[in-house]
Amino acid sequence: MDESTITVPTADGIELQVYRFAPQGRPRAVVQVQHGLGEHAGRYRRFAGALAGAGYLVYAPDARGSGRTAQGRYGQWGPDSWLGWIDDVDRVRQRIREDEPDLPLALFGHSLGSFATQQYLLDHSADVDAVVLSGTAEAGSISGMLDSPEPADLSAFNAGFEQRTGFEWLSRDEAEVDRYVADEGCGFESEAFRGMGTLAAAADPERLRELRPDLPILLVSGDADPLADGGRAIEVVGERYREAGLTDVTVTIYPEARHELLNETNRDEVTAEILAFLDRTVGSGR
């Protein structure tokens, strides 16, 4: 796998730092990875290695206020705040299309990246060829939780789990939790989002019916993820897409798995399912 970095400018003057992980030989397709809140794209290097090993080219931006893009100012979302997050997804996608105009494109979003993806699809379902949502939930309830003048408090998610670090809700793998805690680019406090109320549109049946019906979507979650409500919140999202007319929607719930499936004890199983989905959709030459 060949790793490099490119930059993509945002509408409000931020330079997104984007990892590019390339396979040997001509790629089968491109996977755009959108990470979650309080983390960065460098944490997806292992996943990118698996994708590149299977012939996929990966673009993984450090989102605004995160990773190298933040330049030490973690959790500062910039003038465009949440709507900037959504627009940034498209700016990275446009750069991918400039670099690789002939390759199919899959969008992978985890946690906050999955909510940005849900909202992004309302206006851009024709611009991507497949979607994977990880650690996601029903957009209406999340919008209400995050649309607050106060920064999001994620500590409540650890209720019901062991309290060794306060981040046990992320994974059953203690070594992965310890890496998260030791990483200065993770778990940081952030300013409140502005414009987060617009995310509620991603739960609107009328808006969802505007999505193109042949867009393949895979939703993966652990039933012990506090966002998933035992898996019920994920089933709701999947059913809404089906009711909107989408014909290729798959929901997989992993028993006892927590929020970060790619860092869970069963991560190889999860990665294998995602690869099988990509092989069936964008990797098939479609």
Q: What is the pLDDT of residues 110-119, one digit of tens each?
A: 999 999 999 9
pLDDT at residue 70 above 60? yes
What is the pLDDT averaged over residues 70-84?
Answer: 96
The lowest-confidence range among 132-146, 197-211, 243-257 is 132-146
| pLDDT for the residue 153 | 66
Instruction: Determine if the pTM surpasses 0.85.
Output: yes
Name the pLDDT band for 121 (thresholds 50, 70, 90).
Answer: very high
Instruction: Show the CA angle centred on residue 129, arms to residues 92 and 252, nearest 5°.
Output: 105
Q: What is the pLDDT of residues 226-262, one digit of tens each?
A: 999 999 999 999 999 999 999 999 999 999 999 999 9
What is the pLDDT averaged over residues 6-15?
Answer: 98
Rounded Cα gap, residues 91 and 224, in angstroms: 34
What is the pLDDT averaged over residues 64-75?
Answer: 97
Strand 217-222 and strand 105-110: the pairing is unpaired
Sign of the torsion formed by the C-alpha atoms of 93, 132, 57 and 112:
positive
Cα torsion at 4, 81, 92, 51 (round to 10°)?
A: 60
Q: What percent of the chain has pLDDT over 90?
A: 89
| pLDDT for the residue 160 | 86
| pLDDT for the residue 3 | 96
Name the pLDDT band for 286 (thresholds 50, 70, 90).
Answer: very low
Sign of the torsion formed by the C-alpha atoms of 39, 40, 43 and 47:
positive
Mean pLDDT of the chain: 95
- Region 2-284: CATH code: 3.40.50.1820
| pLDDT for the residue 54 | 97
What is the pLDDT averaged over residues 82-110?
Answer: 97
Q: What is the pLDDT of residues 158-177, one digit of tens each?
A: 988 989 999 999 999 999 99
Helix/strand/coil (H, E, C) string of the chain? CEEEEEEEECCCCCEEEEEEEECCCCCCEEEEEECCCCCCHHHHHHHHHHHHHCCEEEEEEECCCCHHHHCCCCCCCCCCHHHHHHHHHHHHHHHHHHHCCCCCEEEEEECHHHHHHHHHHHHHHHHCCEEEEECCCCHHHHHHHHCCCCCCCCHHHHCCCCCCCCCHHHCCCHHHHHHHHHCCCCCCCCCCCCCHHHHHHHHCHHHHCCCCCCCCEEEEEECCCCCCHHHHHHHHHHHHHHHCCCCCEEEEEECCCCCCHHHCCCHHHHHHHHHHHHHHCHHHCC
pLDDT at residue 73 above 50? yes
What is the pLDDT averaged over residues 62-68?
Answer: 98
